[in-house]
Amino acid sequence: MSQRLGQELRRLRKKKGLTLEEAASATGITLQYMSLLEKGQRKSASFEIMANISKFYGIPLDYFAQFVDDDQNEVHNLSETELEIWSAINNKVKDEIYYKKGDLLADWLRSFFRK
């Protein structure tokens, strides 16, 4: 993760008037993990954690990409399959966030990868 992303997560939490503990509890992660994210001390976060944070704050998941420093990330060109999966996941997250419809992301991912 990056310092910039951590600063944005902190800004969003404070804007809602929440303590670190309240935000962690609401997003389903530990207080310690949330603290590390906000300090930019986690090397990465799982898609599911970022999706939970995105859903909690009501912000599209890809919004957070602008806060990740490119020089800290290894460049990796996605294959056609990876692009297809990423697109499907983004569409599912948008459905959950914007339209409040569908199965939970974790359930959907399990069924998607069984195909």
| Residue pair 1/43 in contact by the 8 Å Cβ criterion | yes
pLDDT given at position 98: 63
Over residues 85-94, the pLDDT tens digits come to 877 887 777 7
How buried is residue 38: exposed, middle or buried, by Cβ count under 10 Å (0-12/13-18/19+)? buried
Whether this model's pTM surpasses 0.75:
no
User: How many beta carbons lie within 10 A of that of residue 5, not counting itself?
Assistant: 21
Looking at residue 75, what is its pLDDT?
A: 43
- Assign residue 76 a region (left: φ > 0; alpha: ψ between -120 and 50; beta: otherwise): beta
Q: Specify the pLDDT at position 26.
A: 94
16-51 pLDDT, tens per residue? Answer: 999 999 999 999 999 999 999 999 898 778 888 999
User: Residue 89 carries which DSSP code?
Assistant: H
Between the CA of residue 66 and those of 56, 58, 107, 110, what are the distances in Å?
19, 16, 28, 28
- Give which of 68, 71, 65 is closest to 2, Cα–Cα: 68
pLDDT band of 73, cuts 50, 70, 90: very low
